Amino acid sequence: MAAETTAQVPPKVAGALTRYRVMAYVVGVMLLLLVAVAMPLKYLADTPGPVAVIGTAHGFLYAVYLLVAFDLALRARWTALGTVLVLLAGTIPFFSFVAERKVTRTTRAGQRV
């Protein structure tokens, strides 16, 4: 595999990027658990408990994801459209993983999202 050319990322941006990456994975996993496990249990097995627990956890963690992503957007000087798209990525299953990869590559290359 060819080595990618990366620009020097300022420490404040690097720290914000790490926080964003962690939250993108956490929110993505929680959303998948909610959609693939808790919702079928609620509607197929008449067990609403997991939706209440996982749904609440995902909602709280999504709020943290919004703050962390917005912090990174400010530090890395993203465009308004890029910021909104990344913020919405935590609401669609699998999109937070896709957005995280794109944001990481773009930010490490020294470009704006």
3 domain residue, yes or no: no
Is 101 among the domain residues? yes
Using a pLDDT cut of 70, give the percent of the chain over it.
94
pLDDT beyond 90 at 8: no
Split into its structural domains, the chain has a count of: 1
Render pLDDT for 12-65 as a digit per residue (tens, 0 to 9).
999 999 999 999 999 999 999 999 999 999 999 999 999 999 999 999 999 999
Query: Looking at the domain assignment, is residue 70 inside a domain?
Result: yes
**Is residue 18 situated within a structural domain?**
yes
Is 2 part of any domain?
A: no
- 113 lies in some domain: no
DSSP characters over 46-85: ---HHHHHHHHHHHHHHHHHHHHHHHHHHHHT--HHHHHH
The model's pLDDT over 28-42, given as tens digits with 9 standing for 90+, comes to 999 999 999 999 999
**Parent domain of 76:** 11-108
Residue 1 in domain: no
